[in-house]
Amino acid sequence: MAGSFGYEKEHYETSMKVGGLKLFPAINNTGPETIIAANGTSCRHQIFDGTKRVAQHPVSILAKALK
């Protein structure tokens, strides 16, 4: 996504194609039990748009583990 880049209408397609090369297939190849971690806000947004999977900030994963 890279911040606003992937929101912009003329860049949307490029942005999804970049995701489609490596990131989305890697996530799609994991089962639902796999936790997806991504620390950038627009990265998590992009992962959701490309795979419909919710990615968590590592901080959230650690906070849950501590509880």
Rama region for 2: left / alpha / beta (φ>0; ψ in -120 to 50; rest): left
Residue 56, strand partner residues: 37
Long-range contacts made by residues 8-15, C-beta under 8 angstroms, separation at least 24?
Answer: 15/46
What residues numbered 8-27 form the site for another protein, per CB under 8 A? 8-12, 14-15, 17-18, 21-22
Q: Is 53 in the site for another protein (CB under 8 A)?
A: no
Q: How far is the CB of 44 from another protein (least distance, A)?
A: 8
What does the binding site for another protein look like in residue numbers (CB under 8 A)? 2-12, 14-15, 17-18, 21-22, 39-42, 45, 49, 57, 59-60, 62-64, 66-67
